[in-house]
Structure 1
Amino acid sequence: MGRRELITRTSAAAVSGAAVLGAAEGTRAAAADRRGASGGRPRSRPNILLIYTDDLGYGDFSCYGSTGIRTPRIDRLAREGVRFTDAYAGAVVCTPSRAALLTGRVGPRAGLPRVLFPEDENGLSDDERIIPEYLKSAGYATTCIGKWHLGAKPEHNPTRHGFDHFFGALYSNDMTPFELWRDEEVVESVVDQSTLTRRYTEEAVAAMDRSGDQPFFIYVAESMPHIPLHVEPRFEGASDAGLYGDVIQSLDHYVGVLLDALRERGLEEDTLVILTSDNGPWFEGSSGGLRGRKIYTYEGGLRVPCIARWPGVTPAGKVSELPVSVLDLLPTFCAYAGITPDPGVTLDGCDIRSVLEGADTAEHTPIYYFDDLGRTLDAVRDGRWKLHVRRHIENPDDPDRDQRELPELYDLERDPTESYNVSESHPAVVRRLRRLIEEFESDVKAELAKAG
């Protein structure tokens, strides 16, 4: 029996104006009931709104240093919650990063080490137990909106893996055929991609309204700013950073719509909102001065913006420099929901409730950086130190040329741009981190071999 067996089309709501306000009136009473006797304090089992952007750069929000792109709603979210300076995606490319997010396991361990394409037969295994499956067992209503990218066959559909509802695309917006699905049916084969961010937002608002008196988990996986870039005409020319900047400002606007919808429905105090990205920027976008971009295991490929807000729980205006990872979300969400992850499953993340709630110190497992195909474990961060033992191969005809000057050791507290290799000055640190890489790589390979 697979682990999934152990787990026990509505119209999109309008996102502004009278329709939203009317829907809000209809749900305030339910929100009050959910708060119950707490006297207005946040409930123990929060709603969870997880917004996951695609190929967003570390420096693309103004609260992360952008000057050509204005993101006032996201900046406000940061002022009202915790903004992380050292948050990490689960991989340097789409599929393994999404697998890491939802399974709490690195992509290779979860059987999804590389980007999937429409013709691929493989996808998310029934043996993997993901966030919505756990949360459903705790009574949550679960909705997946936007980019899935964990397999395109019927058995990989989000509704087969714990989501009550799905609206979105099965893979990236540069792959064909690019279609929109509702649950397990194609509902649109010719897609105006400029409307995606708005429509995903409408679907998320509808999911809030649909949840009734259940807590909800709404996963909004944006298609933007992955190329090809598209934006509604109202946002064209809005930024000082070209079409890419316009796309980010559109995202900012619709994040604001979601936050307004929570407040208007009396759900703001009961909802944990997390905003982050699947990896670093690709052709455009700012790495915020970090070395590397998507595909590379330097910080610009894996370090991402991350903001968390739960009024009354996350301290307003906190800037945390503690390392966190999307791998931490599954154990953390389970802890807030009052459930325990399957003890027979190896998780690669930590419960970070104390960090979300303002801790200044916390232990964290090492951050591991696999290459873009999931073949090799190329780097590790443990505390302030990061060691590279392999590097992305630019020229397959001369692979050794790309591996010169290794290993590289960087003190990320003093040198976050990874500019100065200090491996010769700290040989003991190099040996310790190299052992971490070897042991973790062996552990993943052993689990895969055992699974057959």
Structure 2
Amino acid sequence: MNQNYIDGLRGRGAFTLGDRKRPNILFISFDMVPREFYLPTEGDLAPRTPNLDALRRDGLFFSNAYAASPLCSPSRAALFTGRYSYITSNGERAHDGHQVHVREDDTIYPEYLKASGYRTRHFGKCHIGTAKFMAAFGENDHPWDRWSPPWYDDDGYREFLAQNGITGFRFSREIHGVAPSGRGKGNFMGGWVETENGKPFTKEATYPAYTTALALAGLRAREADPRPFYFEVDYFEPHQPFFIPSGYEQRERELRALVTIPESWETALSGRGRPLPTVYARYQKYWGLSERQTVEDYLVANVLQYEILDENVGKLLSYLKAQDLYDECLIVATADHGEMNCRNALVDKGAYLNPRVL
């Protein structure tokens, strides 16, 4: 075996390369997936995910995996570097000497794949620094790394909308918490969308569809390339704010007939039950989930958003099967962390080291 380096001039990233055939790799990640979406228990509102279910049947399912951090950036940094968050020292916000992105001299595993001869490409959210992703995936990469949802300021997506005959969109129904003051609208958590002139917003024009279209175009572009590929598709979804298009009206009615409000939500609002960490009370006030209708809307929209993702994963898997690549491709589907999903009157993730998040 020969000694190789990611950066031979500086001797950085040493590795050896064996003689075995290297598989193609498709890495798919989602952002903030509730535990009940893949390990539902009685009473949970579980999504229909035929494509992810098929992938699970064909491969291995890790039911006891955990995230290194309950936050996007540090969790992703741990995944890419193989180091715990206290070593990477990056967070959602740069405070106390921390930084948002991984350090320039940190090595992420796609750099090894690229240096060893893989064709590496990335599509979607990176959230650990676009400069590092450019080094690992190349100048034609499509990473984005921002706080706001990508629908508003992703120029590529705006062009994609125009190609679908859409010049803009608006929310026909919104999900809001109650403001911390206890009066008026608080946090915006997305909802149901239509075009700016009130017409149906098709699922073919959503951001998951755009991310998938980029990935499929990249896969087709490599068909004449003999190198093995590592393609990474990082979806923003199902992270709120939700973006539910038309075409799911019947499914929404079915879910609303099945949804049950978590018992811990009522317990949290009533003050009964065992004491929770102080930070929980702070975030309960921040999210403002004091109305039953808001909780129902959130639970239903979260499931719908995940089912939309499953449809898009199906497009990627169908391509691999059509190209006779599926059986010999290493396919990974994972998430950066979980979320509370209205348990304990909380949503999202962040400050709570709860098993549902980790």
User: Which 5+ residue runs of structure 1 have no aligned equivalent?
Assistant: 9-42, 303-452
> Among 309, 320, 344, which residue is 1:251 paired with?
309
Is the Cα contact below 8 Å between 1:235 and 1:249 reproduced in 2? Answer: no
1:59 maps to 36
Match of 2:206 in 1: 195
State the AA in 1 paired with 2:207.
L
Report the residue type matching 1:159 in the other structure.
M
If the length of structure 1 is used for normalisation, what is the TM-score? Answer: 0.49
Q: Which amino acid aligns with 1:166?
A: D
CA distance in 2: counterparts of 1:80 and 1:176, whole angstroms: 34
Compute the displacement of 1:7 (Å). 8.7
Aligned 8 A contact 2:32 2:239 in 1:
yes
Q: In the alignment, is the contact (CA less than 8 A) between 1:116 and 1:151 conserved in 2? A: no
Q: Is the 1:141–1:216 Cα contact (8 Å) retained in structure 2?
A: yes
Is residue 21 of structure 2 the alignment partner of residue 44 of structure 1?
Answer: yes
**Normalized against structure 2, the TM-score is what?**
0.61
Partners of 2:89 and 2:99 within 8 A in 1: no
1:165 aligned to 2:140? yes
Q: What residue is the counterpart of 2:50 in the other structure?
A: 72
Hey, what does 2:228 align to over in structure 1? Answer: 215
| d(CA) in 1 for partners of 2:57, 2:113 | 28
**SS of the residue 2:352 aligns to:** coil
Kindly state the Cα deviation for residue 60 of structure 1 after the two structures are TM-superposed: 1.2
Matched ranges for 1:160-309 at <5 A: 160-163=135-138, 165-174=140-149, 178-180=153-155, 195-211=206-222, 212-236=225-249, 238-239=251-252, 240=255, 242-282=300-340, 284=341, 294-302=350-358
The structural deviation recorded for 1:293 is: 5.4
Q: Comparing 225-234 with 267-276, which one deviates more in the overlay?
A: 225-234
1:1-20 residue pairs with structure 2 within 5 A?
5-6=7-8
Q: Which residue of 2 aligns with 1:422?
A: none
Q: Identity over the aligned pairs, expressed in percent?
A: 27
Gaps of 5+ in 2: 11-19, 162-166, 170-192, 194-204, 256-298
Confirm or deny that 1:96 pairs with 2:74. Answer: yes
Report the CA distance shift for 1:179/1:191 in structure 2 as closer, same or farther (over 3 A): farther
Shift of 1:202: 1.3
Does the residue aligned with 2:68 lie in a helix, a strand or coil?
coil
- Quote the Cα distance in structure 2 between the aligned partners of 1:277 and 1:140: 23
Amino acid at match of 1:222: Y
1:141 shift after superposition: 0.9
The DSSP-based 3-state class of the residue aligned with 2:87 is coil
Distance 1:56 1:236, change over 3 A: farther
Q: Distance in 1 between matches of 2:29 and 2:168?
A: 21
Deviation at 1:122, TM superposition (A): 5.3
Q: Give the structure 2 partner of residue 84 of structure 1.
A: 62
Structure with more contact order per residue of length (Cα contacts < 8 Å, sep ≥ 6): 2
Q: 1:47, CA displacement in angstroms? A: 1.1
1:30 maps to which residue?
none
Separation in structure 1 between the aligned mates of residue 160 and residue 89 of structure 2, nearest angstrom? 30
Distance 1:175 1:219, change over 3 A: closer
Residue equivalent to 1:370: none
Pairing partner for 1:109 from 74, 87, 91: 87
- The alpha-carbon distance between structure 1 residues 177 and 197, as it changes in their structure 2 partners (threshold 3 A), is closer
Deviations along 1:306-353, one digit per CA (max 9) or x if unpaired, are xxxxxxxxxxxxxxxxxxxxxxxxxxxxxxxxxxxxxxxxxxxxxxxx
Contact 2:110–2:137 (CA<8 Å) still a contact in 1?
yes
| Alignment check: 8 A CA contact 1:7 1:134 kept | no
C-alpha distance after superposition, 1:203-257 (max 9, x if no partner): 1112222222211111111111111111332345535152211111101111111
Aligned length: 253
The Cα of 1:124 is off from its aligned counterpart by 2.7
Q: What displacement does 1:158 show?
A: 2.0
Report if aligned partners of 1:142, 1:218 keep a CA contact under 8 Å in 2. yes
Q: Aligned AA for 2:318?
A: D
Task: For 1:285 and 1:79, locate their aligned partners in 2 and report how far apart those are by CA, in whole Å.
Answer: 29
Contact 2:73 2:101 in 1 (8 A): no
Q: Decide whether the 8 Å contact of 2:32 with 2:238 is kept in 1.
A: yes
1:173 deviation in Å? 4.0
Please state if 1:150 is matched with 2:135.
no
After superposition, the C-alpha distances for 1:98-150 in whole angstroms (9 at most, x for unaligned) are 11111111233123134469xx9852322011122100111111111111112
In structure 2, what residue type is equivalent to 1:74? L
1:141 aligns with 2:124: no
State the one-letter code of the partner of 2:230: F
Aligned to 1:143, what secondary structure does the other structure show? Answer: strand
